[in-house]
Amino acid sequence: MMLDSFPEDIKPHIIPRVKGDLYYKCLGCSLEYPIEKLLYVCPECNEVLLIHDRDAKELKKIPGAVWQKIFNFRKMLTIPALKGIYRYHEFIGPCMPLESIIYLGEGNTPVIEASQNLKEKIGLSFFYKNDGQNPSASFKDRGMASAVSSIKYLIDKKIISDVIAVCASTGDTSAAAALYTSYLGPKIKSAVLLPHNKVTSQQLSQPLGSGARVFEIPGVFDDCMKIVEHLSTRYPVALLNSKNAWRILGQESYSYEIAQDFEWDMKDKAVIIPIGNAGNISAVMNGFIKFYEADIIDCLPKIIGVQSEQADPVFQYFLEPDDSKRKFIPVDTKPSVAQAAMIGNPVSMPRVAHIVKQYNRLAGCEHVFFIQVKEQSIMDCQLLANRNGHIACTQGGECLAGLVQALKQGIVTNRETAILDATAHAIKFSEFQDLYFKSKIPQGYNITPDPYNINLPSLILPDNQNLVPSQKKRLKKKDFEKFVKDISDKIAERLNLKIS
């Protein structure tokens, strides 16, 4: 390692030491609980928790510009524990010894500028941050690295042993949970609950491949979540859903990376996030707030949360402008291609409600917005993005649909730069693309395929269909040459190629 060549002012800080004084705080009754407990909701009032650091003011003793330098130089380190989300150790989990940190390649995802063509079509400059390039192909790995590291920390400290970790999932949480727990080996086993027929086959294959116990349950995600909650109050299990406040801490890394990706300049930036359980948007706002309070960034970006009209409880909640009059009402979801965000009763609703107020107050103006989009627009935007060199999933399409809508409503202007969360890799949701291309999207989705967007393979067969190559019987040289010429001519004809 080249630590010796690092600048003097950051040398003492470059390898983080265990510090901080973390605790859980209830969002309902404000009671505080020690961090060394497996705790998901307040034992007094059953409300969700957030993790705070009593020593957070210590972070301000280091000037913002020095923090920036620390994080920039940390990028050069080769210590596995610091290569992912824990580059921001002091802000993510300062109590965590490096030996307890699990790193499977999460975080540090690329920020890809929208192609020239796409920028012109949409009418402003924007970027996709490709969180589908995480190890289990979604952003959930960020929070999972944090939550599973926190379990390893408790195991290492001999506070717990032989853990059974459980979660309910719209697909990606279970993939991440199964991956990270399997890495820890037999000390921790995982069980995941999935709504039957409501996750893609790729998402189902992931926890199966990682060796988790997979239970499929009739109903939707919200029903699975109730079962997991019931289990976690009656049995000694570790909950890996975003109820677990460690998940939120880990997901804050998304904001820290954006700040660093844009060289700490958040002026005229808008960050666009799809909302399901609302864990991610809570974490993203929290992350920017922490960096703002530590003077690492000098302004807060706009935050735009997007929901499909088929599953929009958070959008509905914020329709009421007077926050003292807002009342949360869960919705019954309808089918959505943004299936990972198809949630009617978001677990993190109290967190969003709380953090939005704080965010707007710090920004000094309304800085968090909620947008509702149509299924048609989600699907068409995803296909448009991917035809222009991106790898957006349906939720990434939802972000682009949200951006288009935000421009229309004047929430962003073309003088701003938007950063869209491509929350998972396109291939996880290719089943929806497939249904669209085959014009087989079930009615409830309210999507009519645009013929221009449809793309299907063409099977090219030779005139003589008995003369085709096979692994069992090779063609004779002459026949094979004929086959090659015949097929080439047919392709050339389809592509309108002329002999040069």
List binders of ligand PLP among 137-176 (CB under 6 A): 138, 140, 170, 172
Distance CA 436, CA 450 (A): 9
- The length of the chain is 500
| Residues ≥6 apart with Cβ < 8 Å to 442 | 335, 435
Our CB check for ligand PLP shows the closer of 280 and 345 to be: 280
Phi and psi at residue 227, in whole multiples of 5°?
-70, -45
Amino acid code (one letter) for 214? V
The answer to whether 42 contacts Zn ion (rule: CB under 5 A) is yes
Cα 449 from Cα 431, distance rounded (Å): 14
Among 276, 287, 344, 402, binds ligand PLP (CB under 6 A): 276
Which does residue 42 touch among Zn ion, ligand PLP, none (CB within 5 to 8 A, set by kind)?
Zn ion
User: Closest distance between Zn ion and the C-beta of residue 52, in Å?
Assistant: 14
Sign of the Cα pseudo-torsion (63, 88, 276, 265, in order): positive
Window 419 to 448, contacts with Zn ion (CB under 5 A): none
Cα distance from N-terminal residue to C-terminal residue, the chain: 56
DSSP β-bridge partners for residue 274: 306
Binding residues for ligand PLP, total number by CB under 6 A: 19
How far, in Å, CA of 272 to CA of 404, rounded? 11
9 binds Zn ion (CB under 5 A): no
Q: Per rule CB under 5 A, is residue 492 in the interface with Zn ion?
A: no
Least distance CB 242 / Zn ion (angstroms): 18
Q: Is 454 in the site for Zn ion (CB under 5 A)?
A: no
Among 3, 18, 45, 454, binds Zn ion (CB under 5 A): 45
Pick out residues in 280-309 that bind ligand PLP (CB under 6 A).
Answer: 280-281
What contacts 28, CB < 8 A, 6 or more positions away? 42, 45, 46, 47, 350
Please state, in angstroms and rounded to a whole number, the distance separating the CA atoms of residues 238 and 260.
33
Selected from 44, 298, 323, 489, the binder of Zn ion by CB under 5 A is 44
- Report the residue number, 67 or 126, with the smaller CB distance to ligand PLP: 126
- For the record, the structure tokens of 95 come out as 């109590």
If the CB atoms of residues 140 and 290 are measured against ligand PLP, the closer one turns out to be: 140
Q: Could you tell me if 293 and 363 are in contact, meaning their C-beta atoms sit under 8 angstroms apart? A: no
Binning the chain into helix, strand and coil, the percentages to the nearest 5 are: 45, 15, 40
Q: Should residue 341 be labelled a site residue for ligand PLP when binding is judged by CB under 6 A?
A: yes
Tokens of 88: 């921001």
- Residue 28 contacts which entry, Zn ion, ligand PLP, none (Cβ below 5-8 A, type-dependent): Zn ion
- Is residue 242 a contact residue for ligand PLP (CB under 6 A)? yes
Please identify which residue in 29, 454, 460, 484 interacts with Zn ion, judged by CB under 5 A.
29
Nearer to ligand PLP, 137 or 296 (CB): 137
Residue 107's contacts (CB-CB under 8 Å, 6 or more residues apart) are: 84, 85, 87, 134, 141, 142, 145, 253, 257
Q: Which residue lies nearer to ligand PLP by CB, 165 or 294? A: 165
Residue 140 partner contact from Zn ion, ligand PLP, none using kind-dependent CB cut-offs of 5 to 8 Å? ligand PLP
Residue 198 contact among ligand PLP, Zn ion, none, beta carbon within 5 to 8 Å by kind: none
Query: Residue 377's closest CA among 424, 320, 423, 445?
Result: 445
- How is residue 152 annotated by DSSP? H
Q: What is d(CA 406, CA 122) in angstroms, rounded to the nearest whole number?
A: 11
Q: Give all strands of the β-sheet with 32-34 in edge-to-edge order.
A: 32-34, 22-26, 49-53
What whole-number distance in Å separates Cα of residue 69 and Cα of residue 72? 5
Quick one: which segment of 42-50, 171-179, 261-269, 271-279 binds Zn ion (CB under 5 A)?
Answer: 42-50
Q: Which of 42, 238, 275, 418 binds ligand PLP (CB under 6 A)?
A: 275
43 binds Zn ion (CB under 5 A): no
> Binding residue for Zn ion (CB under 5 A) from 10, 22, 26, 272?
26
How far apart are alpha carbons 30 and 42 in whole angstroms? 9
CA atoms of 345 and 326, how far apart (whole Å): 15
Contact between 28 and Zn ion (CB under 5 A)? yes
Distance CA 477, CA 463 (A): 17
CB of 375 to ligand PLP, least distance (A): 15
In whole angstroms, the minimum distance from the beta carbon of 437 to ligand PLP comes to 21
Q: Within the chain, how many helices (H) and strands (E) appear?
A: 17, 13
Subset of 359-398 contacting ligand PLP (CB under 6 A):
393, 395
Query: Binding pattern to ligand PLP, positions 405-444, x when CB under 6 A?
Result: ------------------xx--------------------
- Cβ atoms of 286 and 248 within 8 Å: the answer is yes
Interface with ligand PLP, residue 277, by CB under 6 A: yes
Q: For ligand PLP, give the closer residue by CB, 148 or 275.
A: 275
Contact partner, 26, from ligand PLP, Zn ion, none, Cβ < 5-8 Å per class:
Zn ion
Task: Give whichever of 206 and 423 is closer to ligand PLP, judged by the CB atom.
Answer: 423
Q: Select the span of 271-279, 443-451, 469-477, 489-497 touching ligand PLP (CB under 6 A).
A: 271-279
For Zn ion, the binding residues (CB under 5 A) are 26, 28-29, 42, 44-45, 47
> Where does this chain bind ligand PLP (CB under 6 A)?
138, 140, 170, 172, 242, 274-281, 340-341, 393, 395, 423-424
